[in-house]
Amino acid sequence: MGDVVNLRRVRKARLRTDREAAAAQNRARFGRTRAERDKAAAEAEISARRLDGLRLTPEDDGDGGA
């Protein structure tokens, strides 16, 4: 036969691990300094501008305007 398992302890342990995972996500999301947030925003802006600069417009598609 298998071991006897206390379901209350299992439930509480699972709840504890779920809360720890959520806390880790919140630390990663909100635990940054203003300088880090500003730097990430600036990098995202530069990347968006670079992507827009490389985007092909309908005039640049090479089909001769047809």
pLDDT by residue for the chain (66 residues), tens only, comes to 789 999 999 999 999 999 999 999 999 888 888 999 899 999 999 999 999 988 887 655 555 555
Q: Measured between alpha carbons, how far is residue 58 from residues 6, 40, 50, 61, 63 in Å?
A: 66, 31, 18, 5, 9
Cα–Cα dist 23/12, whole Å: 16
- Provide the residue ranges of all domains of the chain, joining segments of one domain with +: 7-55
The Cα 17–Cα 34 span in angstroms is 29
Question: Residue with structure tokens 């919140």?
Answer: 26
Note the pTM of the prediction, 2 decimals: 0.45
